[in-house]
Amino acid sequence: MANAPKRPASSRAEKMIKVDHAGENGAVNIYRAQALVATLRCPRLKSQLKDFQSHEEEHRQIFATFLDQNGIRRCVSYHLTGIGGFALGLVTGLMGPPAIAATTYAVENVVLEHLEHQMAYLKDCSPDAHKAVSDIYQDEKDHHDHAKSQMQSEKLLSKILVLVIRGSTQAVIWFGMR
Ligand SMILES: [Fe+2]
Ligand SMILES: [Fe+2]
């Protein structure tokens, strides 16, 4: 269906995958920008950020395949999410390792809640969508747990970043599901 005309996502299950696809584009770009500035700011983190980026690229591809096979258009916020993610990655990457850990923790924390909610919903109504979401869950959990272990959660900066980034991530999901 790659070249056939695409239709907007209609069911709740389709909208979930459309939003996840846009979200993964945001995640790819957060890690891409952080890996880019890590060269200057914290070279020891670079290979790990690149690994996370490659996981997010795989996730984005899983959701892109689902959308493609079902002839569904991607989310209108797809490019905006990518640009927003890149900007967030640049700023937090330049702030250094504690800000990078707080960013990953905040984003993945919202993502995990969101994926758990989706899996419960999709289990009975869309096995294909459920499989796509289940396939990425463990990677997101690993990202989350790693960031949590690296984060300086008692620092004011971490608290502010987590609050702002959690709110923005929830807003992106809410907007995409409308
Ligand atoms: Fe992901
Ligand atoms: Fe992730």
Per residue in 68-91, pLDDT (tens digit) is 999 999 999 999 999 999 999 999
d(CA 145, CA 143): 6
State pLDDT tens for residues 104-131.
999 999 999 999 999 999 999 999 999 9
pTM, full prediction: 0.94
Angle separating helix axes 12-41 and 97-125, nearest 10 degrees: 160
| 108 alpha carbon – ligand 2 mean position (Å) | 6
| 84 alpha carbon – ligand 1 mean position (Å) | 16
d(CA 85, CA 101): 15
| 11 alpha carbon – ligand 2 mean position (Å) | 25
Q: What is the mean pLDDT of residues 55-64?
A: 98
Assess whether pLDDT exceeds 90 at residue 4.
no
Q: Are 34 and 49 in contact (CB under 8 A)?
A: yes
User: Does residue 7 lie within any of the structural domains?
Assistant: no
| 114 alpha carbon – ligand 1 mean position (Å) | 12
Only one residue has tokens 């957060």, namely 30
pLDDT of residue 178: 85
More confident residue, 45 or 178: 45
CA-based Rg of the chain, rounded to a whole angstrom? 16
User: Does residue 6 lie within any of the structural domains?
Assistant: no
Question: Could you say which ligand is closest to the alpha carbon of residue 136?
Answer: 1
| 130 alpha carbon – ligand 2 mean position (Å) | 17
User: Does residue 141 lie within any of the structural domains?
Assistant: yes
Per the structure, the complete domain to which residue 56 belongs is given by: 12-177
pLDDT averaged over every residue in the chain:
95
Only one residue has tokens 């919202």, namely 110
Q: Are 14 and 70 in contact (CB under 8 A)?
A: yes
Structure tokens at 154: 């008692």
| 157 alpha carbon – ligand 1 mean position (Å) | 25
> What is the domain count for the chain?
1
Q: What is the mean pLDDT of residues 38-44?
A: 92
pLDDT of residue 55: 98
With bands split at pLDDT 50, 70 and 90, how would you rate the model's confidence at 1?
low
User: Does residue 139 lie within any of the structural domains?
Assistant: yes
| 24 alpha carbon – ligand 1 mean position (Å) | 5
| 56 alpha carbon – ligand 1 mean position (Å) | 4
Question: Could you say which ligand is closest to the alpha carbon of residue 62?
Answer: 1
State pLDDT tens for residues 160-171.
999 999 999 999
User: Does residue 41 lie within any of the structural domains?
Assistant: yes
User: Does residue 3 lie within any of the structural domains?
Assistant: no
User: Does residue 91 lie within any of the structural domains?
Assistant: yes
pLDDT of residue 71: 97
User: Does residue 100 lie within any of the structural domains?
Assistant: yes
Q: In sequence order, which ranges of the chain are alpha helices (DSSP H)?
A: 12-41, 46-69, 78-95, 97-125, 127-150, 156-177
With bands split at pLDDT 50, 70 and 90, how would you rate the model's confidence at 2?
low
| 12 alpha carbon – ligand 2 mean position (Å) | 23
Give the three-class secondary structure for 72. Answer: strand
Count Cβ atoms below 10 Å from residue 24 Cβ, excluding itself. 27
Question: Could you say which ligand is closest to the alpha carbon of residue 56?
Answer: 1
Residue 5 is classified by DSSP as P
- The CATH number given to whatever domain includes residue 150 is 1.20.1260.10
| 133 alpha carbon – ligand 1 mean position (Å) | 10
